[in-house]
Chains A and B, each alone.
Chain A
């Protein structure tokens, strides 16, 4: 029996924080989006396809995707040192890998699509918010994609599986806490991002992935609605 029987924020175990999404928020970008889940806010701007620089990174077979994840200095409790860090480089890479399976850039050889993800406010689940924002922004930029990518982090707090773990839950130190960000292509249920941090059993992990699937499908609907609202 888990000691974590009730969430401190009053949410159900399979309930996310309130989600807000908007497309086309940055005028100068080719595509852009805003995605907010609870107190985590991500902005994504897409530029391109455009000429790839440095030139040695060009691929004559297909266009490339380049993601950049950045936390604003004031976004967290403690000041985040500006500029790339080990953490932000890793998250940029996993974001790119999470989105790459859905985008099709073969019509743009030697070109690049740049995605800049900026977080103005973070309270856990920032990479997932970033992936959600980036996928809305890419669709907004008119890039061919077979589906959206939806992402949310689930958690396991003292053997209790829950969806969309938030900051205070992540920092419960008297209980075993695990944070599992998951990204999925809703139509094929293909998992494109799966990371894990904390103590979990194999069964709990599998259960968590199952629990998070319907939630991700719901998030994808929110993403699509944001795009449609732009053309109302």
Chain B
């Protein structure tokens, strides 16, 4: 076995075709591949060195639907037996009649009574096929039609950073601005509160999105929120490390992010 050389550091930004390491002592993970003796990156991402494995977490790209993800969709079409939702992805999702509401929807009912075109819906992905046909449900805790507020779009790969470890970042913004915030995994976010506070929330989220690959972000956001709202935030959030998977896992973490 040849001696391995590492050419990059943890949390470096890597680009396609960049040689990350040589020799057989490292292994390629997600976003990297082996060619001859070298390990190369095959997408733009943030490098994570996990023991011997080199992987790159994507920094850009569209949302690819995944089962159990909570997404915010916009009704773009009304079908014979459901609704078509636009989920900020190359593929649209279908909300079937039986998964739309706990109430009984009689045959031949006017579907616009439940969801009208251009309504926004918080929904959960129930199934994704090999051809990326997507089914969603609106039955469950924290899944409902959105009323009022505003919608913003963020980079889907920055969503974990916006939510923070166990929802620390988003709950800090919620406390500071008294806004209701729902962030879908697809990068569509809903904000509702006092108009001035909504603006501050949008700015804070944009700030996280732009600086997501830097460290000490929680403090920067805290400073901004204190300055903008003129209130002191006594709550100290747990600092999420960059590159760490901070997707909300399990229903408990989910509910914390998605309910008020």
Known: A51-B91, A109-B131. A187 touches B40 (CB 8 A): yes
Known: A108-B90, A139-B15, A139-B16. A231 touches B62 (CB 8 A): no
Task: Find chain A residues with CB under 8 A from B60 CB.
Answer: 30-31, 140-142
Which of A141, A148, A231 has the most chain B CB atoms inside 10 A of its CB? Answer: A231
User: Which residue of B has the minimal Cβ distance to A136?
Assistant: B15
Task: Find chain A residues with CB under 8 A from B42 CB.
Answer: 104, 144-147
Instruction: Convert A109-142 into 0s and 1s, putting 1 for each residue whose CB lies closer than 8 angstroms to a CB of B.
Output: 1110000000000000000000000000001111
Contact in complex: B132, A147 (CB < 8 Å): no
B60 smallest CB distance to A (angstroms)? 3
User: Which residue of A has the minimal Cβ distance to B13?
Assistant: A231
Contact in complex: B44, A142 (CB < 8 Å): yes
Known: A104-B42, A142-B58, A145-B42. A186 touches B17 (CB 8 A): yes
Which of B16, B61, B64, B213 has the most chain A CB atoms inside 10 A of its CB? Answer: B16
For the complex, what is the distance from the CA of A82 to the CA of B132, rounded to whole Å? 38
Instruction: Convert B26-42 into 0s and 1s, putting 1 for each residue whose CB lies closer than 8 angstroms to a CB of A.
Output: 00000101010000101
Task: Report B36-60 residues with CB < 8 Å from chain A CB.
Answer: 40, 42-44, 58-60
Task: Find chain B residues with CB under 8 A from A146 CB.
Answer: 16-17, 33, 35, 40, 42
User: Which residue of A has the minimal Cβ distance to B31?
Assistant: A144
Tell whether B256 is near chain A: CB-to-CB under 8 Å: no
Contact in complex: A49, B62 (CB < 8 Å): yes
User: Which residue of B has the minimal Cβ distance to A112?
Assistant: B90
Contact in complex: A142, B59 (CB < 8 Å): yes
For the complex, what is the distance from the CA of A30 to the CA of B130, rounded to whole Å? 24
Task: Find chain A residues with CB under 8 A from B40 CB.
Answer: 146-147, 187
18 residue pairs of the A-B complex, CB under 8 angstroms, read A30-B60, A48-B62, A49-B62, A51-B91, A63-B90, A104-B42, A107-B64, A139-B43, A139-B44, A142-B60, A142-B157, A144-B43, A145-B42, A146-B33, A147-B40, A188-B35, A227-B13, A231-B13
